Amino acid sequence: MKSIEAIRADFPILQREINGLPLAYLDNAATSQKPLAVLQAMDDYYRLRNANVHRGVHTLSEEATTLYEGARGRIARFINAPSSKQVIFTRNATEAVNLVAYSWGLDTLKPGDEVLITQMEHHANIVPWQLITERTGATLRYVPLDPQGMLRLDLLNELLTERTRLFAFVAMSNVLGTINPVAELVARAHGVGALALVDGAQSVPHLPVDVQALNCDFLVFSGHKMCGPTGSGVLYGRRELLERMPPFMGGGDMIREVRLDGSRWNTLPWKFEAGTPAIAEVIGLGAAVDYLTGLGMEWAQQREHALVRYAMEQLERVEGLRILGPGPEQRGGAVAFTLGEIHPHDTAAILDAEGIAIRAGHHCAQPIHDFYGIAASARASFYFYNTFEEIDRLVMALDKVHSVLGI
């Protein structure tokens, strides 16, 4: 196993200083940093092989296509998809949810149908369903939270009915850190004949995910939160569903044949990839997946678990600090908190002066904050490259926030 120092050396940005102090990057739930291997894969593509994919017969185009499709295969293996045809590239998790909403949702949902989501969703898994249920006359329902930041699964019997067409839920909350029992929730959805969409934006980067074991119908995630570049995202879907779904966007690459009186669609996965894709970014995501596989996702999960457990212990000692969400056993690496009456923006600004990057705001999950009756929270979120010393610095800086702003 590589040492943490060696792993950190793979990430050039982690050598940076902010305000004269070493950067402590604790905003990984927003986006992760990128290892050299990813930067080099993209650089190599642009320097040596840049060409459009699926089009030319010249050498560069073939090399680019091989790299692009090779990345698809690696990502399919990473999530244990039965076939790489079930891995569709999107810009990000948000676009992947929208793809399902506009393709499957518009085509399927009718008045009387229900879509069930939860109160802990990121806006990316709320707003598309609000838009689509409004347009189709279907009803949107929510699984509420309990005060510990867990889903009220005791209400699932009432909420999940034969009217439910889809249960879309987050595998790991980006605010509460809560890890939901995905396989169990998928089975419950299937039990009433509904499909299950899993928002894996926070789970795929942080723990082993096996779509066959979860048995989900759709899984969405973003490359940029898992060491890959922005602009790379994935929709995994069950084969029969993807085959039946109409295209999301029309254009080049997604067609087999275009005549003036109509067109025929390309096969999977290209049916859903209209236009020139984010070639360099997908190649970068392929390199990111190789990097993560090299470290081992089980190892990454354990490392983060140790960091989170330590962070929660230490944070609890900070005066007035209240952590949102469950204890370390039920959560991943995102720890949102409030600090007495101190506004999270002030907390984050004072931490920034100490070289520590955390996020402040509602983290694109306003319903969670409404539930707790707060406008915003501060959030520290970890990745495997973070250190226990960075957590010590975080805690010391939070004490400083008190001494500067304490009233």
Partner 1 sequence: MDALYREAILDHYKYPRHKGHLDNPDVSYFDHNPFCGDEITLELKIEHGVVVEAAFDGRGCAISQASASMMTEEIIGKPLEELKGWTKDDILDLLGIEIGPVRLKCALLPLKALKAGVWGIDDSDA
Site string for ligand PLP, 354-373 (x = CB under 6 A): ----------x---------
Stretch that binds ligand PLP, among 74-82, 196-204, 244-252, 368-376 (CB under 6 A): 196-204
Q: How far is the CB of 404 from partner 1 (least distance, A)?
A: 6
Q: How far is the CB of 197 from ligand PLP (least distance, A)?
A: 11
Q: Which does 317 bind (CB under 5 to 8 A by kind): ligand PLP, partner 1, none?
A: none
Q: Which does 122 bind (CB under 5 to 8 A by kind): partner 1, ligand PLP, none?
A: ligand PLP
Nearest to 41 by CA among 8, 63, 15, 67: 67
202 binds ligand PLP (CB under 6 A): yes
Q: How many whole angstroms separate alpha carbon 188 and alpha carbon 57?
A: 48
Nearer to ligand PLP, 29 or 395 (CB): 29
# residues contacting ligand PLP (CB under 6 A): 14
- Choosing from 7, 23, 140, 405, the residue that interacts with partner 1 (CB under 8 A) is 405
Nearer to partner 1, 131 or 405 (CB): 405
Site string for partner 1, 371-390 (x = CB under 8 A): ---xxx--------------
153 binds partner 1 (CB under 8 A): no
Q: How many whole angstroms separate alpha carbon 152 and alpha carbon 271?
A: 38
Q: How far is the CB of 209 from partner 1 (least distance, A)?
A: 32
201 binds ligand PLP (CB under 6 A): yes
Catalytic residue of the set 364, 366, 399, 400: 364
Q: How many whole angstroms separate alpha carbon 120 and alpha carbon 367?
A: 7
Q: How far is the CB of 179 from ligand PLP (least distance, A)?
A: 12
364 is catalytic: yes
Nearer to ligand PLP, 124 or 300 (CB): 124
Site for partner 1 in 310-369 (CB under 8 A): 341, 343-346, 349-350, 352-353, 360-362
399 binds partner 1 (CB under 8 A): no
- Contact residues for partner 1, defined by CB under 8 A: 341, 343-346, 349-350, 352-353, 360-362, 374-376, 404-405, 407
What is the binding site for ligand PLP (CB under 6 A)? 29, 92-94, 122, 124-125, 170, 174, 199, 201-202, 222, 364
